[in-house]
Amino acid sequence: MSAEQTTTDSGFSYDLTRTLDAPVDRVWQAWTTPDQYARWAYAAPGSVEMDVRPGGAWKATMVTPDGGEFPLTGSYLGVTENRLLVVGMDVPGRPEPTVMTVELDEDGGRTRITTRQTCDTSEERDTAEQGSTMLLDSLTAFLAEGA
């Protein structure tokens, strides 16, 4: 996995890239099918709803390692099947959603996945990057199970 952090005039960004041992369509299904997403993305079973199309909404209740739960909501700002998800995440007190981009590229039967996000502060970027790293770790394990 490679990781890059940058600071731009518009904020603090990270890029995480990893090659997964699964074809693109399998990775796409893991990201866009509620029951599969719940199994690897730390979501409470039955809490995930997804309308995977530009302007479609999503929601999930995430479960922390100590058992705490917190609801998340957002929308899909861009969708290209088996290639791109641009996910808006609602943040209380902010007029605009936080945006994370997930890109998938075919790599000889495997998938190169890149997640990107720009945040307002270095602290927010570091927290978001840590969360994305945890998600990619869990996704890697889920795909290895062949589930």
For residue 1, what pLDDT band results from cuts at 50, 70 and 90? very low
**CATH code, domain carrying 137:** 3.30.530.20
d(CA 76, CA 46): 20
Q: Is the pLDDT reported for residue 131 higher than 50?
A: yes
Q: Is the pLDDT reported for residue 4 higher than 80?
A: no
Q: Is the pLDDT reported for residue 5 higher than 50?
A: no
What are 93-124's pLDDT values in tens digits?
888 999 999 999 999 999 999 999 988 888 98
For residue 9, what pLDDT band results from cuts at 50, 70 and 90? very low
Number of domains in the chain: 1
- The pLDDT > 70 percentage for the chain reads 93
CA-to-CA separations, 81 to 3, 11, 21, 94, 96, in angstroms, rounded: 25, 28, 19, 29, 25
Phi/psi of residue 70, nearest 5 degrees: -145, 135
- The pLDDT > 90 percentage for the chain reads 75
Q: What pTM does this model have?
A: 0.89
Q: Is the pLDDT reported for residue 48 higher than 50?
A: yes
Mean confidence (pLDDT) of the chain: 90
Which residue range is the domain that position 133 belongs to?
Answer: 2-145
